C-alpha cells in the first residue's frame, strides 16, 4: 500500500483505521496473544483481522475492500475464507460508499450477508485546534498505567475480561500515543492516537459512565490532536456509530463540536443470522 499525502482524505479515511487495527493485532501477537490467537491479513489495501477465540464482530472485521483498487469476487471470498479459517461466524465487513465496483454489495448479498448499522467516518485538519475545557486532569500515559488504561477501556466499551491482558498492548509501542483523564487519582476516560507520517487515527475514545458529561472526551481529543500536530500531523481520522434520532450518539456530537466533518456513513455488512451462534 502506498502512502499518498494527507490531502488525499478519501484514501486515509479507510487506510488509517485499517493500519491502526493491523498494528494493534500485531502488538497483541507480540505479547503472546494468549488464547485470543490474533490474526491479520493485509492485501491490496484490505485489512482483515480476527481474534480467534472471541466471537464478537467488533474484533473480527475487514476494512478497505474496494478502496485501494476495484475489488473482485475473489477478494470477497478471500475475506470470507479468512474468517471461516479462524472459525469466526460473527464478523463485520465495512464498505465505504466509494468502494468499487458498483457490484460489490450485490456480491456480498449473493453470499448471504446482510446490512447492519452504519458507522460515521469523520475527519478534520490541524488548523485552529480546540483547547481543553474540563476540570479533569489529562495525562499522556505509558506501560506503567496499563492497569488504569485497561480498566477504563474494558468498562466503557463493555469488553470481555478475556481481553484485559491485551487491552493495553499498544502502550509504549512506536507511533502510538495514549491519554487518560483523571478525577483525582481515578482514571475515568481514555483515548489513543496512531501516527502514520502526517496522518493520525484517533481511537479508544472512552469515558466511564459515572463521569460522562464532564468534558473528558472533548479534552482528550484536544490533547491528542495538539500533541500530534506538534509532531507534524496535518490530518485526523476517526469514526463512531451512526447518530440516529431514536438512538443519539454523544460521541458523534463531540466530534462535530471538535471541528470534525462527516465524510460518509459507512455500511457494516454482517453474516447471515443462521450463521451466528445461539446466545
**Distance from C-alpha of 18 to C-alpha of 183, rounded to nearest angstrom:** 33
Structure confidence by residue, pLDDT tens digits, 131-148: 999 999 999 999 999 999
- What's the pLDDT at 1? 45
Give tens-digit pLDDT for 199-245. Answer: 999 999 999 999 999 999 999 999 999 999 999 999 999 999 999 99
Closest C-alpha to 250, from 200, 202, 216, 201: 216
- Contact status, residue 55 vs residue 66, Cβ threshold 8 Å: no
Name the pTM for this structure. 0.95
C-alpha distances out from residue 199 to 130, 162, 216, Å: 18, 31, 23
Percentages helix, strand, coil for the chain, rounded to the nearest 5? 35, 30, 35
The mean predicted confidence, pLDDT, of the chain is 94
User: What pLDDT is stored for residue 154 in this prediction?
Assistant: 95
Q: Which of 258, 254, 259, 229 is nearest to 243 (CA)?
A: 254
pLDDT score at 277: 61
Q: How far is residue 164's CA from residue 51's CA, in Å, rounded to a whole number? A: 13
Report the sign of the C-alpha dihedral through residues 125, 126, 127, 132, in that order: positive
Give me the pLDDT at residue 2, please. Answer: 63
What ranges make up the beta strands (E) of the chain?
38-43, 46-51, 61-63, 92-95, 114-115, 119-125, 137-141, 176-183, 186-196, 199-207, 235-241, 261-270
With 0-12 / 13-18 / 19 or more C-beta atoms within 10 angstroms meaning exposed / middle / buried, residue 165 is: middle
Closest CA to 260 of 180, 187, 205, 210: 205
As a whole number of angstroms, the distance between CA 97 and CA 75 comes to 17
Percentage of the chain modeled with pLDDT above 70: 97
Cα separation, 245 vs 135, in Å, equals: 30
For residue range 244-279, what is the model confidence (pLDDT) as tens digits?
999 999 999 999 999 999 999 999 999 997 666 654
Residue 104's pLDDT band (boundaries 50, 70, 90)? Answer: very high
Mutual orientation of helices 250-257 and 216-230 as an angle, nearest 10°?
Answer: 40
Amino acid at each position: 500500500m502506498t502512502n499518498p499525502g494527507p490531502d488525499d482524505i478519501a484514501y486515509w479515511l479507510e487506510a488509517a483505521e485499517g493500519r491502526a487495527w493491523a498494528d494493534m493485532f500485531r502488538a497483541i501477537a507480540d505479547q503472546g496473544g494468549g488464547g485470543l490467537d490474533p490474526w491479520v491479513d493485509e492485501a491490496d489495501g484490505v485489512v482483515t483481522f480476527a481474534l480467534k477465540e472471541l466471537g464478537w464482530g467488533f474484533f473480527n472485521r475487514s476494512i478497505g475492500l474496494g478502496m485501494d483498487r476495484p475489488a473482485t469476487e475473489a477478494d470477497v471470498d478471500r475475506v470470507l475464507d479468512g474468517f471461516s479459517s479462524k472459525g469466526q461466524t460473527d464478523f463485520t465487513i465495512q464498505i465505504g460508499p466509494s468502494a468499487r465496483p458498483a457490484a460489490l454489495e450485490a456480491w456480498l448479498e449473493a453470499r448471504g450477508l446482510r446490512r447492519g448499522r452504519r458507522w460515521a467516518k469523520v475527519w478534520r485538519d490541524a488548523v485552529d485546534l480546540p483547547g481543553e475545557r474540563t476540570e479533569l486532569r489529562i495525562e499522556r500515559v505509558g506501560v506503567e498505567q496499563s492497569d488504569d488504561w485497561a480498566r477504563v477501556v474494558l468498562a466503557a466499551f463493555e469488553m470481555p475480561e478475556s481481553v484485559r491482558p491485551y487491552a493495553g498492548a499498544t502502550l509504549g509501542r512506536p507511533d502510538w500515543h495514549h491519554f487518560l483523564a483523571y478525577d483525582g487519582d481515578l482514571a475515568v476516560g481514555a483515548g489513543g492516537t496512531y501516527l502514520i507520517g502526517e496522518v493520525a487515527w484517533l481511537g479508544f475514545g472512552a469515558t466511564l459512565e459515572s463521569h460522562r458529561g464532564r468534558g473528558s472526551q472533548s479534552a482528550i481529543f484536544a490533547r491528542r490532536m495538539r500533541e500530534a500536530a506538534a509532531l507534524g500531523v496535518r490530518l485526523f481520522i476517526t469514526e463512531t456509530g451512526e447518530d440516529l434520532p431514536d438512538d443519539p450518539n454523544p460521541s458523534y456530537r463531540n466530534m462535530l463540536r471538535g471541528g470534525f466533518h462527516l465524510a460518509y456513513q459507512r455500511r457494516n455488512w454482517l453474516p447471515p443470522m443462521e450463521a451466528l451462534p445461539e446466545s
